[in-house]
Amino acid sequence: MNTTPGVPYRLEFSVEVPGTPEQVWQAIATARGMSAWFLPTEMEEHEGGSLHFAMGPEMGSDGHVTAWEPPRRITYEEDWAALMGMDPDALSPLTSEFIVEAQSGGTCVVRVTSSGFGTGADWESEFWEDMGTSWLPFFDNLRLYLSHFPGQVATQMEVSVSHPGDPEALWLAVHDALGLGGEGETIHMSGTTGTVERVGERQALVRLTAPVPGMLNVFTHADGEGTAAAGVRAYLFSADAAAYVQREEPAWKAFLSGLAVHAG
């Protein structure tokens, strides 16, 4: 059987963000910066350095930095075969490149390209389609982070609960229970006040204002055959953040567990 990784996959997009190239570099090319808008990240910040993105209990993606050109370009590789439980010899590494281009008016454009080669298996196409859908909303986080919290260290909170049914029906339940309005509206949820920054397909982004400042992602996704998960992921920027997480994490879990999902 031919398992030569000759089928190309590619994902490209760009996002304009506020800040100098140095501020943007701190956000996209350091462990502290990546952890403030993406996943909890460990990184040796130099060419050849190791890299780890935490994706939950005992789950994550490992890789290494292949290019390091501050404050303009970083490239890293991840082993997506291992991430999916597949044969690493059948796939090339997943390569991601970030290029920072300064613009007039105090902004930068970040150009992102992820690419790899596979064998053309159905699961590979699904992986890349899911990656684009799940990855893009993080870059709204990046824009919000650089707009309101540049250089600050985040305390993360993540809670997820599974329900029978599909992610669309579960999202309607989340949307209704939180009273999510349009972008720019103020909402009050689980003892927290915030402003809706974006409402997308089965996900929303809220800028938190009280009791601690930060960002909150709310989302649903498929979680297996006949089940879906509802989750919240918060990035908090305050000396009181750890106390907030300890106090409010059980409340968020109870909120997600108590969602009333109506069959379509």
Domain boundaries, the chain: 7-148, 155-257
pLDDT under 50 in the chain at which residues? 1-2
pTM attached to this predicted model: 0.93
| Terminal-residue alpha carbon distance, the chain | 43
The yes/no answer on whether domain 155-257 falls in CATH 3.30.530.20 is yes
For residues 75 and 104, the answer to whether their CB atoms sit within 8 Å is no
Q: Spell out where 59-106 has E strands.
A: 59-69, 73-78, 94-102
Please tell me the predicted confidence (pLDDT) of residue 225: 81
pLDDT of residue 1: 41
pLDDT at 188 (0 to 100): 87
Q: What share of the chain is helix, strand, coil (3-state, %, to 5)?
A: 30, 40, 30
Angle at 251 between CA 177 and CA 189, to 5 degrees: 40
Mind listing the pLDDT tens digit for each residue in 142-166? Answer: 999 999 999 999 999 999 999 999 9
* Element at 143 (helix H, strand E): helix 122-148
CA dist., res. 197 & res. 195, Å (int):
6
CB-based contact 111:11 (threshold 8 Å): no
Q: What is the pLDDT at residue 261?
A: 81
Whether the CB-CB separation of 17 and 24 falls below 8 Å is answered with yes
CA angle 235/40/167 to nearest 5° reads 70
Per CATH, 7-148 and 155-257 having the same topology is answered: yes
Nearest 10 degrees: CA dihedral of 183, 184, 190, 191? 170
- The domain 7-148 is classified under which CATH number: 3.40.50.1100, 3.30.465.10, 3.30.530.20, 1.20.1530.20? 3.30.530.20
